[in-house]
Amino acid sequence: MLVRHSPLRIADLRAATGLFVRLADAPQEIGAFAYLDRDWRLLGMRHVAGQAAGRLDVPVRAVVADALAFDARAVLMAHNHPSGDPTPSPADRSTTHLLLRALEPLDLRLADHLVIARAGIASFRELGWL
């Protein structure tokens, strides 16, 4: 589902977390993508539900198409871990790298990938992986 938002500024990790905190209680994995302008204002979002409790297929083509449609400068990705553990999995790292490779040639930045869980939040940027 694609949703357009009014210009809310995502200035830091706390603001980014606020967009996605509700994902922590979802019983299945859900991916969320926020599209940001050059001043880090929210232009729109897409949410994608996984087909199983522990798996999410990221729609890379749709994310790139949305970013271009919004004329975004950055994409902020988040997804939840229903297990409650926010530790990024090898699949999370692989997916992040795939999305990063798709965005970079178009001069689009992957602002962060947040893993949201009841036990906390992991930020790929804070971990030094972006």
Q: Is the pLDDT of residue 52 over 80?
A: no
CA distance 125 to 68: 23
Distances (CA, A) of 35 to 11, 87, 93, 115: 13, 24, 20, 17
pLDDT digits (tens, 9 = 90+) for 62-113: 999 999 999 999 999 999 999 999 999 999 999 999 999 999 999 999 999 9
* pLDDT, position 56: 73
- Structure token digits, residue 56: 């999410």
Are 109 and 73 within 8 A, CB to CB? yes
pTM of the model: 0.88
Q: Is the pLDDT of residue 38 over 80?
A: yes
